[in-house]
Structure 1
């Protein structure tokens, strides 16, 4: 993600520059400002799925590699809410200002559980993650009822975790990636992937998905209203 003492001037410069260069991408419906926000899901799943050149590759690379269940993870790289209505290239660079690149990592189910336990323990703290492709509940600081792609987590199965290089190298305390397999490099930055996605889907609708639910059935988006 990279250190930045004052990111606001940089974000504004990026927004103005890319608005002049790219203009409007389309319209976003249902964008929100809260912690488990729908824009956060877009900043994980959508930015981590940049297209056919990256989608479908297995841990060893190549389009013939077997498809594996996938989940997507981002943390800290999403720095602003996405506005309702017209979305410009500059807006995307404001939401995702860092030059984070997308990587895909093979992880066993037990490693995914360890990853989600770490996320659950950081509820309301710096480094709390945005996810898509998975759901879990937080109970007493631990992740429970974990589901990947709608199916219960299998501790012995291999999953593909798409994330950013900053987290893969241990940023924000995500050291569990050290136990994972080697990362496949996409060569694509999150903001560029998001721009590509919105160009293909100019009227994208953000939906409330409740990916992470606090014990008692309350989605975290309803518990924390302040933007990151």
Structure 2
């Protein structure tokens, strides 16, 4: 109990709220790393999952499914910290690039797999009906398959962003900022209050992400699709 009270007392210290090492600045740095990695992930994985999931017939469909699952499993097996160190050694493109590489590699699988699976799980009868109404392939994808698959896609996006927020603490290992500074610097100084404070802030940011996506799910997904997703 004393350890918890000491950690909470760390937040009441005035020096924690000002300067370059203050909570507002470190929080903004962490959010910047996280949102940048998330945006790049979405640009890469979401369109790829939509296109590959839309293909349902022929050899291309089976090859697409194999590539999605195998690449996702391979990416999940990558050691994040090891990949960060390797990126630092190999890249010379600025300090931010090494941290983005492992974060994106970690976040692509849930977005890619959930998008692909969501599109694939749309009932063939719905697609046949849409095509019978004269919709082209892109219209079927964007106006039918995407809205129906949206619950699973949002789940993948939420999982990816929470993983990025949690893992972005490793930015401190290569001299960058973010909430990981409290954990890494606190460990080196044996300042356990700082370590606990940094961990609490990361947890709160992850919880806030959950809340945001819960609201997004409620307002972006149609009631009929929500009921269908709840029933399944």
TM, length-normalised to structure 1: 0.24
More strand by share: 1
Query: Relative contact order (alpha carbons < 8 A, sep ≥ 6): 1 or 2 greater?
Result: 1
More helix by share: 2
**Larger Rg: 1 or 2?**
2
TM, length-normalised to structure 2: 0.23
